[in-house]
Amino acid sequence: MIQTKNLLTAELTEWLQKSIASELYASHLYKHIANQMQFVGFFGAQKYWLKESADELTHYQIHVDFMNDMGTVAQLPAIQPIKENISTIEDALAVAYNTELALLNQYKEFYKIAEEQDCIVDVYLHQFIEIQRKAVGEYGDLIARYTRCGKNEAAILEFDEYLSEL
């Protein structure tokens, strides 16, 4: 009988599982933010964070496919419920920025380990470092743009509409 071999070390498998959990958590969080934005009437923000949630699921699937290619099966982690009340776009942007920054830092830490252990995983992680760098930058830009709205309700509604177009 032909048998495939797991090409990943236990440590790299653990890091990939951590990455899977983080991507699923981010997707879950962004769905929660979308629900919160819908509840308070920011339908552009709702649409934006639903798209962000879907993007995170794409990242999850890339990890699953990579692990399969490397001869192992990704485990599906349990995701904790999110109960945080997010009632403004400002709150949502802050939470999303911090989430993306934490993911960037996680991938940087993972990369340091992969760089020492496995050139395949090392090269694979480049795409995620780039994705996270862009995400942190994009949220920084959104925060800067939102800050210009101040307390002006019309400007905030215009920003909400802008989010729906992204």
* pLDDT tens digits along 55-85: 999 999 999 999 999 999 999 999 989 988 9
CB neighbours of residue 67 within 10 Å: 22
| 164: its two tokens | 């729906």
Write the pLDDT tens digit of every residue in 15-40: 999 999 999 999 999 999 999 999 99
What are the structural domains of the chain? Answer: 10-73+85-165 (1.20.1260.10)
Burial (CB < 10 A; 0-12, 13-18, 19+), residue 119, is exposed
Which residue has tokens 């819908």? Answer: 38
pLDDT at 134: 98
Average pLDDT of the residues in 92-113: 98
pLDDT (0 to 100) of residue 3: 87
- Give, as one character, the DSSP assignment of residue 40: T
Report pLDDT for 127. Answer: 98
